Each structure stands twice: as C-alpha cells, then as structure tokens.
Amino acid sequence: MIDQLYRKAVLTVAGQQAIENVVRARGWGMAQRFVAGETPQTAIAAVQELQQDGILANLDLLGEFIESPEQCTAFADNVLTMIDAAHAAGITPYVSIKLSSVGQGKTVGGEDLGLKNARRIIGRARQFGGFVCLDMEDHPRVDQTLAQFRTLVGEFGHGHVGTVLQSYLYRSEADRAALDDLQPNLRVVKGAYLEPETVAYPDKADVDAAYRRLVYAHMTAGNYVNVATHDERLIDDVKMFALAHGIARDAFEFQMLYGIRRDLQKSLVKDGYRVRAYIPYGRDWYPYFSRRIAETPRNAMFVIRGMLRG
C-alpha cells in the first residue's frame, strides 16, 4: 500500500508540466543512468558493452503519447532503422515496442494502424532472425494487445514475437492460461502503471505471489519465460523452482532494466543463466525516466541529489 502511495505521488508530481520542464532541462545527465543515449548508435554501443559481460540486449526506442497516424508510422520507421542498424552491427535484433506508439486503436484504410506497423516491424526483425516483444501498457489496452498478439503469432510464429503479462492485474493468470495454445514466449513483470484497485492488487505481497504463480505455470506448461524483475527473492525462488522441476536453464531467461542491478545481471551470467537487459534510448526519455523514479525512493534521492549539485 505504501509502495502504491509512493508511486502515485511521484507519478502525479512528474506529470506536472513545470516539473517536466525542469527535469528535461537539467536531468539528462541523470537519465543517462537508465537511458542509453538518443540515437541507434549510442544504443548499439551499449549493447556491445553489455555483450562483453555476456549480457543479451533488448532494444527499446522510447516514444509515448505519439498522437497522429503520421507520427505513429514515422515512429515505426525509426524502429525499422534501429533493426537495420543492429543487423549491420552484427547484432541479431531483439526489440520491444509499445503498440500505442505505432498506432494501436487508430483505424487507417479499414485496418488498425498498430497492427499494420507491428507487422512491418516483426517482418523486418524476422528477416534477420530477430524477435519483437509487445510491451504491455495500462489496463485498457490489454484486451486489444492480447488479441493482436494472437494474430501476430499466427502470422509470424512464436519464435519471432512475444508479449508481456503484469502480475498486478487480477486477470493475468486467466490471460496466461488462455494463451497456452500458442506456446507463447512471455515476459512476466509486476507492472509499472498506476492502476485502480478494481483491476490490480493494491498490496505488494499479492503482486509478488501472483508473479510466482504466473512464472511457475508458464514454465510448467513448457513455454519460454522471460523473468523480468530485479527482485532477488523472486529470482532465487525461480532458480529453485527450475532446479526442483528439471527446467533447463535455456528454457527461461532473466531480464532487467539497463542501469539497474548490473552486479546481479553479471553474477547470474556467471552462474550460467541467460540474462537480457532492456535498453531504452531516444529523445522521448521523460515518461520512462519518471516510472523508474516512481519504482523506488532510492532513485528519487539519486535525482534530487543530482539536481541540487546542479
């Protein structure tokens, strides 16, 4: 409950235009701890640096609240540029997209623009043996995202497209079971948005318990799981569960965010686990940065100290 209040307070403050202006003007240096620069080249340099530690990468071009259909298509074009740049640098493209950024919910020529642009992106990634994960956004988008995921797996195969379930949503366990026939590659997260009690567990203990149930059920069903968390207790429990149930280390991977718990990422690699870092980059870093600050007071202190130092 306290976590919820903290998150709500930070996201409310961060939503104020005046705060945004100050942080945008003075906060880029601090944001760089969480964001790998503003161009595909800076992001690729981050991928190559992680590779030296045996850490895999998931590239994410930042861009939220993109409004017009033209902006959505331009954003999708930039994702294609990123995929091409990764391929040219010898990296198998693994990217995440938010369907809202590429036009989900906008009908153009009788077709959902998000679906149309997702097809272009997944098609290009597949051409290079790559993979696209459809990030999960706030709860009103879940139905459409899961329906579009189903369509896209049918067209491209589960080896080239995956999606995300959020353990804070009451519905996610039923959603997972309903997707089982696709043998889907799923990322399990706790959830990053401010959601009402009508749809999401307000207590952290319930979110964590649901997280375990989701991961264990998906592993037991024989599907690939991306265990996306920095929570060491959950990570240890998943390791134990896999060991106890004979689940191979290549049947799942741990995922963490760029700039967070690099020590843990490295030690998991050393122990023979697959680890992938989620590498956001791009000019539109403010909403992403605000969500990271809202996750833990430690990050808020990091920013406040940085601002005071000027």
Ligand X SMILES: Cc1cc2nc3c(=O)[nH]c(=O)nc-3n(C[C@H](O)[C@H](O)[C@H](O)COP(=O)(O)OP(=O)(O)OC[C@H]3O[C@@H](n4cnc5c(N)ncnc54)[C@H](O)[C@@H]3O)c2cc1C
Give residues in contact with ligand X (CB under 6 A).
Answer: 135-136, 164, 166, 187, 189-193, 228-231, 255-257, 260, 278, 292, 295-296, 298-299
CB of 21 to ligand X, least distance (A): 23
CB of 136 to ligand X, least distance (A): 4
Q: Which of 60, 135, 175, 208 is catalytic?
A: 135
Measured from the CB atom, the residue of 120 and 262 that comes closer to ligand X is 262
135 classed as catalytic: yes
CB of 259 to ligand X, least distance (A): 8
233 classed as catalytic: no
Measured from the CB atom, the residue of 180 and 232 that comes closer to ligand X is 232
The answer to the question of whether 87 is labelled as a binding residue is no
Q: How large is the angle between the packed helices 142-156 and 113-127, nearest 10 degrees?
A: 40
Q: CB count, 10 Å around CB of 129?
A: 12
Rounded CA gap, 35 and 279, in Å?
7
Mention every residue, 6+ apart, whose C-beta is less than 8 A from residue 10: 290, 293, 294, 300
Q: CB count, 10 Å around CB of 22?
A: 12
The answer to the question of whether 191 is labelled as a binding residue is yes
Measured from the CB atom, the residue of 69 and 204 that comes closer to ligand X is 204
CA 148-149-154 angle, 5° bins: 100
The answer to the question of whether 229 is labelled as a binding residue is yes
8 A C-beta contact, residue 230 and residue 261: yes
Measured from the CB atom, the residue of 44 and 235 that comes closer to ligand X is 235
The answer to the question of whether 259 is labelled as a binding residue is no
**Backbone torsions φ then ψ of 215, nearest 5 degrees:** -65, -45
The answer to the question of whether 291 is labelled as a binding residue is yes
The answer to the question of whether 256 is labelled as a binding residue is no
CB of 70 to ligand X, least distance (A): 25
CB of 230 to ligand X, least distance (A): 3
Measured from the CB atom, the residue of 231 and 284 that comes closer to ligand X is 231
Q: Which residues are catalytic?
A: 135, 187
Annotated binding site: 98, 136, 166, 190-192, 204, 229-230, 291-292
